[in-house]
Amino acid sequence: MSLTIETLMSKMPGAFLPEKATGLNAVIQFKFTGAEAGEWYAEIKDGKCAVEKGTHASPKMTLTADSGDYVKIFTGEIDGMQAFMQGKLKLAGDLNLATKLTQMFKIK
């Protein structure tokens, strides 16, 4: 079974490592293009992560990627930094948050 964006986003709260996000209050907007186009956001606050479908009014960072590429980045098939350098992953806003993002979730 291939991983879908819907499944991936719904698993984010369970993969969240609160000890890696101490004191962080941020909203990350995800904009997906391609086969599973859509918008989601993750709100990290008070040691918890909540994920919702839709657009947040004031995200701290926005991540834009093709849905297929994002699944590959999340599962480790594609290196996130390489994807960024190749333009497959676009970031806007607080770029420091992007580096923390990879540490705040246990990716399996």
Domain containing residue 64: CATH number: 3.30.1050.10
Amino acid at 10: S
Where does 1-108 show beta strands of DSSP type E? Answer: 26-33, 38-45, 48-53, 61-66, 89-93
In whole angstroms, give the CA distance from residue 52 to residue 43.
Answer: 8
pLDDT tops 80 at residue 85:
yes
Range of the domain at 70: 5-102
Residue 18 covered by a domain: yes
Residue 108 covered by a domain: no
Residue 107 covered by a domain: no
pLDDT score for 107: 66
Number of compact structural domains in the chain: 1
pLDDT-derived band of residue 108, with 50, 70 and 90 as boundaries?
Answer: low
Residue 78 covered by a domain: yes
- What confidence tens digit (pLDDT) does each residue in 42-75 have? 999 999 999 999 999 999 999 999 999 999 988 8
Q: What is the pTM of this model?
A: 0.92
CB 48 within 8 A of CB 16: yes
At 56 the three-state DSSP class reads: coil
Tokens 């909540």 correspond to 50
CB 105 within 8 A of CB 98: no
Residue 103: which of 3, 10, 15, 40 has the closest Cα?
15
